[in-house]
Amino acid sequence: MARLGNYAEAIRHLVSIVSEPEGALTYPTNRVLALEFLGPLYEQVGETEKAIRAYAQFADAWRDADPELQPRVEAAVARVSALRGPGR
């Protein structure tokens, strides 16, 4: 969806994954990955505060993840800092 430029539809789909109660079709990993994808999509549509929240939630969820995943966490933290601007 996002590759086709349909950002709103992609965002709706990912938000549904994040907000779906955990169950047979929704695993915690799905939620975390949805948050990772939501950050850039929110940026693309100019929703800076939502992007910051998505990146921060992703980073918080995986802060203790395996070392090979830490570059993704660091990238999310860096995006939060960049979007907040200097001194924030």
Read off the CATH number of the domain in which 18 is found.
Answer: 1.25.40
Q: Which range marks the domain in which residue 57 is found?
A: 2-84
Please give the tally of structural domains in the chain. Answer: 1
Number of H helices, E strands in the chain: 4, 0
Report which of 45, 27, 31, 43 is spatially closest to residue 75, judged by C-alpha positions.
43
User: Is the CA virtual torsion 55, 60, 65, 71 positive or negative?
Assistant: positive
CA dihedral 54, 56, 62, 67 (to 10 degrees): 120
Say what the pTM is. Answer: 0.86
pLDDT digits (tens, 9 = 90+) for 62-86: 999 999 999 999 999 999 999 998 7
- Please give the DSSP secondary-structure letter assigned to residue 4: G
* pLDDT tens profile 18-73: 988 776 666 788 899 999 999 999 999 999 999 999 999 999 999 999 999 999 99
CB 22 within 8 A of CB 42: no
